[in-house]
Amino acid sequence: MDTQDNNHLAELKDDANQRAQEWITFLASTEASSEDRARFEHWLNLDDEHRVAYEQAQAIWNGAAALQALKHLEPLHQKREARLQGLTRWFSKLQALPQWGAALASVLIVAFAINSQQAEKPDVRSYQTQTAEKRQLDLADGSSIFMSPETSIAVSYTKTTREISLLKGEAFFEVFRNPQKPFIVSSAHTQVTVLGTSFNVNSNRFGVTVAVQEGKVEVASVDVPGRRNSLKNLIAGQTVKVSHTKGLGHINRIEAEDTNAWMQDVRIYVARPLAEVLEDLSRYCDAELVIVDDQLKEQTVTAVFPMSSAQHILKALETVLPLSVQQINDKRIELRAKP
């Protein structure tokens, strides 16, 4: 074999090493899709050299993970210094490798950077909808979040966790199943944990209501003043409310398909206090909705309302409850008890 052939083989091997490095860092991120993984498998099977290169890169990557794990076995005051010394020794060894030195050292650097960043500072992204606005979020793992009007959430993904904070409002979740990474939704005094399912969470000043459309979820009440933390498991067609004062309530039956009725611009209420109904309705109305007479707040509402117009719903409430609706100005609507 002549020198030109040898140079060509060396170039092919270097390219395989580089591609292996790129694949291992990309697949460890949350950005890799199923199509990306299929492309990786195709590349891996194209040539035996690709597989050898990837296995060597994987060994170095695992070494980086081992370094991260060893930190937890050391006293706190020694962790930082030992980590730096350990990295220095690893880099020195890698530089001595004849062909893989620079490429694999960079893999180790990227691996350590990813592990450190995710352990110390998760990537947190915030989203918010405005009055009457709905929004769909497609997450990196294949899960989706459907946000109702005037809803705020924060999404925090790491290599080991999927956490959503529902700060206010209502959202429907379609969760991609991953037993190694539970999907957790936290709201006021409430934590919902799932592996893969579809469910709705409505959070307002009256409490948090969870309704399951498909699969199973675990609902826990957390740090409710004067109450013990407790949890219940819900299956499809069940709902439960966590009160800010009473904690976890009783499980009730619902129609599974009704859990996300708001996504079809329909609101369904069964024996809900008027004050809570107006809390939902306010997300679709620019004006402030004010109940002037306190005795109206506990009037119960059982109805199905198409959300074509907040004004239409207010008019409908006048026909079923002893109240009158008065538009004071563009920013205020008052509900008063009929004399």
Q: What is the CATH number of the domain that holds 168?
A: 2.60.120.1440
Q: What pLDDT does residue 78 have?
A: 45
Residues, the chain: 339
Domains held by the chain: number: 3
Q: Percent of the chain having pLDDT more than 70? A: 74
Q: What pLDDT does residue 15 have?
A: 66
Give the CATH number for residue 325: 3.55.50.30
Same domain? 216 vs 92: no
- Average pLDDT, whole number, for the chain? 80
Residue where one domain finishes, among candidates 221, 238, 263: 263
The winner for highest mean pLDDT among 82-91, 245-254, 298-307 is: 245-254
Residue where one domain finishes, among candidates 120, 146, 165: 120
**27 vs 143: which has the higher pLDDT:** 143
Same domain? 129 vs 222: yes
Q: If you average pLDDT over residues 39-50, what whole number do you get?
A: 80
Q: Nearest Cα to 147, choosing from 214, 200, 207?
A: 200
- Check whether 106 has a pLDDT greater than 80: no
Same domain? 204 vs 287: no
Q: What pLDDT does residue 79 have?
A: 42
Q: What pLDDT does residue 191 have?
A: 96
**207 vs 16: which has the higher pLDDT:** 207
Q: What pLDDT does residue 92 have?
A: 52
- Check whether 26 has a pLDDT greater than 50: yes
Q: Measured between alpha carbons, how far is 128 from 283 in angstroms, rounded to an integer?
A: 12
Same domain? 213 vs 288: no
Same domain? 170 vs 104: no
pTM of structure: 0.63
Type of residue found at 104: L
Q: Which range marks the domain in which residue 222 is found? A: 122-263
**9 vs 326: which has the higher pLDDT:** 326
- Check whether 295 has a pLDDT greater than 60: yes
| Confidence category of residue 94, pLDDT binned at 50, 70, 90 | very low
Q: What pLDDT does residue 85 have?
A: 53
- Check whether 264 has a pLDDT greater than 60: yes
Same domain? 149 vs 212: yes
Task: Give residue-wise pLDDT tens across range 315-333.
Answer: 888 888 899 999 999 899 9
Same domain? 215 vs 282: no
Q: Measured between alpha carbons, how far is 165 from 283 in angstroms, rounded to an integer?
A: 19
| Confidence category of residue 196, pLDDT binned at 50, 70, 90 | confident
Q: In the chain, where does DSSP find H-type helix?
A: 3-27, 34-46, 48-70, 76-95, 101-120, 274-281, 310-320
Q: If you average pLDDT over residues 9-29, what whole number do you get?
A: 66
Q: What pLDDT does residue 100 have?
A: 47
Contacts of 84 (CB under 8 A, 6+ apart): none
Paired tokens of 284: 């679709």
Same domain? 103 vs 62: yes
Task: Give residue-wise pLDDT tens across range 49-93.
Answer: 878 777 776 666 555 444 444 444 444 444 444 444 544 554 454
Q: If you average pLDDT over residues 180-208, what whole number do you get?
A: 93
Same domain? 148 vs 43: no
Same domain? 127 vs 251: yes
CA 328 to chain centroid, in Å, comes to 40
Same domain? 126 vs 106: no
Q: If you average pLDDT over residues 197-214, what whole number do you get?
A: 95
Q: What pLDDT does residue 250 have?
A: 94
- Do 300 and 277 touch, CB atoms closer than 8 A? no
Q: Percent of the chain having pLDDT more than 90? A: 42
Same domain? 138 vs 257: yes
- Check whether 237 has a pLDDT greater than 50: yes
Q: What pLDDT does residue 68 have?
A: 47
Task: Give residue-wise pLDDT tens across range 132-177.
Answer: 999 999 998 899 999 999 999 999 998 888 999 999 999 999 999 9
- Check whether 232 has a pLDDT greater than 60: yes
Q: Interior CA angle at 286 toward 283 and 290, to 5°?
A: 80
Q: If you average pLDDT over residues 112-117, what whole number do you get?
A: 50
Q: How far apart are the first and last CA of the chain?
A: 104
Residue where one domain finishes, among candidates 215, 234, 263: 263
Contacts of 136 (CB under 8 A, 6+ apart): 144, 145, 146, 147
- Do 197 and 176 touch, CB atoms closer than 8 A? no
Number of CB atoms found within 10 A of residue 56's CB: 20
